[in-house]
Amino acid sequence: MSILVLFIFLGSNFFSQDKCKELFVTEVLFEQQNNYGNYNQSIELFNPTEIDINLSTYKIELVDNVGVVTYITLQGLVPSHGTYVISNGNANSVISQFTNYFSSLLTLEGKVAINLTGPNGEIVDKFGQQGVETTSTIIDISQLLNNPEYLEGLDINLGSIENLLVRRKPTVQNGKVIFQNMDLINEWNIFPNFLVEDLGVHTNACIVPVVSWLNISFATPEVVVVEGDENIIIGEYEVIGLENVGIEIGVNDFVGVFIDVDIYDVAFDAFDYEFLAEESMLVNPGDFSSGFWDLAQITDDITPEEDESSGFWLEVINDNGTGAFVADNVLDILIIDDDATGVQSLTNRFNEIKISPTVATNSLTIINGCEDIFIFEICILPISGKEVLLKKESSFDSIDVSDLSSGYYVILIRTNKGIVSKKFIKD
């Protein structure tokens, strides 16, 4: 028997500021000038420190591809653990209500990078890259949600996020003085630019504990194991910002979302793994910020039933008054059947199962392009994975999501080949 420890490096902090010690950018809203003459463009700053920060010595630099800089001087205070929003002076009324400071200089068209500079003129945070063309490929959020690998070939700059909104992940506790392509995937969440309800509000691990998987990122959501290796899958989790009291966290098998755990063997006889994780775990201050959790034992039944898919998600069971929550909670697994031969990749076939639209207002549809894959049931969960919001066993042509709040969601789709997860955004 071998032990498989799942760890994927999520990027270096070599070019980062000290954690929770300096102002940094947490949101960028980019919309081109619309028919009403509005420039709905904003930059949100976050103060992770214990003291108010005077902005009189800070500047925003907007850089074009040949290095010409537009300087925006700032004024006022950013309260401790609070935000400060700069918007274009012609922003609409929805954005204006969240804005602390208006500047006609805040126009992002033709710009490739945003620099936030500190009291000595040094860069304390950066988004985008100089030396690349302003006319970049615009990020297609419908592709990004369920096939983010296509970002790898792009030169990411402000032109890439036209008509989108990017929001720093709650696990990020400091700015970057050098921006790299993978930073967009590992440090930022991307939304349509109409999801502005959180503009001026930023929840961060400098303030409350944040729980996440360490062994996944948005670009690599799937872990692949081979049935015959009989691996034990060990998930590595991380709790950031736990300082005073302990919290209780739990891990759930995708299967358990659909049925009672006591009847796994009856209802899911084809699954080639045994769920091992204990129901919950206590994480106390002073413990290491990360730990390992035995999730499943891969078994080999010597039956060529082809590849299988499933996964696990995290939750906070008791935050003990800390406000702790989960980010990056879904861990997909694909079990390769070593007894089956000549079978098209299950991953490729699952790519033929699509949800439309990926940004939904009232309803969405599951499109199944595989004749040998049958959908039995779906469950919809918030990206934090705390509770099942919708469960449906038939009629997947029109799934009503009108009652869901705006934001990111995970839809688990149970099929005869296992459970696959997809993401969508509720408008």
Residues in the chain, overall count: 427
Per-domain residue ranges of the chain: 24-192, 208-426
* Two tokens, residue 109: 């068209």
- Model confidence over 396-411: pLDDT tens digits? 888 888 888 888 888 8
- Model confidence over 182-241: pLDDT tens digits? 788 788 888 888 788 889 999 999 999 998 887 554 444 456 666 655 567 777 888 888
Rounded CA separation 27/45 (Å): 7
- Model confidence over 311-368: pLDDT tens digits? 888 888 899 999 998 887 777 777 776 655 544 566 666 778 888 888 888 999 998 8
In this predicted structure, what is the pLDDT of residue 56?
96
Specify the higher pLDDT residue, 422 or 394: 422
In this predicted structure, what is the pLDDT of residue 263?
42
Name the CATH topology of 24-192: Immunoglobulin-like (2.60.40)
Query: Do 24-192 and 208-426 come out as alike in CATH topology?
Result: yes
* Two tokens, residue 402: 């009108």
Interior angle at CA 389, CA 384 and CA 393, nearest 5: 125
Average pLDDT over residues 127-152: 69
Q: Is the pLDDT of residue 1 over 80?
A: no
What dotted CATH number matches 208-426? 2.60.40.2030
Of 51-60, 66-75, 136-145, 272-281, which one has max mean pLDDT?
51-60
Q: Please state whether beta strands 69-73 and 363-368 pair in parallel, antiparallel, or not at all (unpaired).
A: unpaired
**408-411, Cβ contacts within 8 angstroms, sequence gap of 24 or more:** 408/189, 408/191, 408/382, 408/383, 409/380, 409/381, 409/382, 409/383, 410/313, 410/330, 410/380, 410/381, 410/382, 410/383, 410/385, 411/355, 411/378, 411/379, 411/380, 411/381
